[in-house]
Structure formats: structure tokens, C-alpha cells
Amino acid sequence: MTLPKIPPSEQPQPIRVALVNDFEVVVRGLESVLAPFRAQLHVVELDVSGAPDQAVDIALFDTYGHGAGGVERVRSLLASRSVGAVAVYAWHLEASQIEALIAAGASAVLDKRMTGEQLADALVAVAAGERRVSPEFRAPVNGWPGHAFGFTLRESEVAALLVQGLSNREIAVALAISEHTVKSHLKAIFQKTAVTSRGHAAALISQDFAFRRFRDVG
């Protein structure tokens, strides 16, 4: 049987998506994950440390480098008139953090260990008005920035903020941890990079963050 052709004006339009994080390497990685699904999802913006300028159906927010699960970033995105819905993309989260994200207005909270196809399906569902929450959240086995140095995931996040020039206090606030914990992570970072100063560590780490292809899949 020959199916009738659908006029171009009546064909479903791809869902407009903005990718959001504080690091270009992270949003570039997300862009590559979604690339095979261009017929369904049109990535119109890569927003580093900002909100979408264009109207988008979904802002896919990667929580890497954000404390408390990124609740405040979710609120700020939803405060923008250009954002229809926010989907959070995260590694390990506690139940209380998931609840806080939903309470802040997130339409989805998605585990990074899902496949690209599963992520695309979830975003399509969100655009249709559904809420999606992954049943579990697990820390990644490998693949985060600084993994080549032997950094833990939390050390990676501390190192990322160190590269931006944040003080210990500012890092503590950003990641919702104590300054003492920040100092402990920095000590481990210095040991693993074999340097003795913040400047040398930042210079060495920034090379890894800038040139290593970072894909946010497990």
C-alpha cells in the first residue's frame, strides 16, 4: 500500500533544544551524543554559563560542576521566557536532590548512563508533556575531564572550577561542600598532577579540559 505524502507544511517540526553547562567541552560532547537524532531534535544553541537566547522547547542542563544538583540553575532557566521545559542530565544523585529538582520545575531528571537513543526518546517525551525520571543514578566508570590524571568525579569538578580561577570559598559554595573538603580535594589534585601551586595545576588541567574529547555517556 502506498502511503499518502505529507505536505512539508504539515510534517512535524524537530524539537528545538538548547544544551546548557558551564564548560564548552561538556556541551560539545552532548551535541555529539544527540547528533544521530537530528530528525527529531534540533540543537539550536550551546549555552555556556548562560540561558538560551532563542525560543527552545527544552533546555538540556548538564549538572557537571554544579552543587546541590543544579537546583538554582534549573530555576533560572525556567525564569527565562525562551525556555519551554528543562531536562536535567546528571550522574549520581540522592533522592532528596531529585525531589528538589522536580520541585524547582524540572520536567525530567535523567541518568547519564542512558544511551543516546534513550536520551533522545526521553526528550521527545518531555516535549510531548510527559515527566521522565530515571529509576537510578550511578557514578560513571570513566570518561570525565581529568580522568587521565586519576581524578575522582568530585576532584574533576573542583579542578574545573580551579581552572576558572575561583577561590576555595567560591568552589565550596558552587559545589555545596565545605572549604575543608575543597582543600582536601585540591591536595589530592596537586599530588596527582605532580605540581605544587594552583597556577601550575590550572595550566596543566586546562589542557586536558580543552583538548580531550569528553562525551557525557557512561
For the chain, domain boundaries: 12-133, 147-211
Q: 147-211: what CATH class?
A: mainly alpha
Cell of 95: 533522592
* Residue in the block written with cell 576555595: 168
Amino acid at 43: V
Chain center to CA of 128: 22
Question: What pLDDT does residue 16 have?
Answer: 96
Q: Please state, in angstroms and rounded to a whole number, the distance separating the CA atoms of residues 60 and 44.
A: 12
Q: Please state, in angstroms and rounded to a whole number, the distance separating the CA atoms of residues 106 and 6.
A: 34
Domains 12-133 and 147-211 share a fold: no
pLDDT digits (tens, 9 = 90+) for 136-153: 887 665 567 787 788 888
**Mean of pLDDT values over 74-81:** 92
Q: 12-133: what CATH class?
A: alpha beta
Closest Cα to residue 93, out of 125, 61, 118? 61
**H/E element, 62:** strand 56-62
Q: Given a cut of 70, is residue 133 above it in pLDDT?
A: yes
Q: Given a cut of 90, is residue 56 above it in pLDDT?
A: yes
**Mean of pLDDT values over 119-130:** 96
Q: Given a cut of 90, is residue 76 above it in pLDDT?
A: yes
pLDDT digits (tens, 9 = 90+) for 88-122: 999 878 888 899 999 999 999 999 888 999 999 99
**Mean of pLDDT values over 3-20:** 69
Closest Cα to residue 59, out of 107, 17, 102, 105? 17
HSE at residue 32, side-chain half, CA atoms within 13 A, is: 10
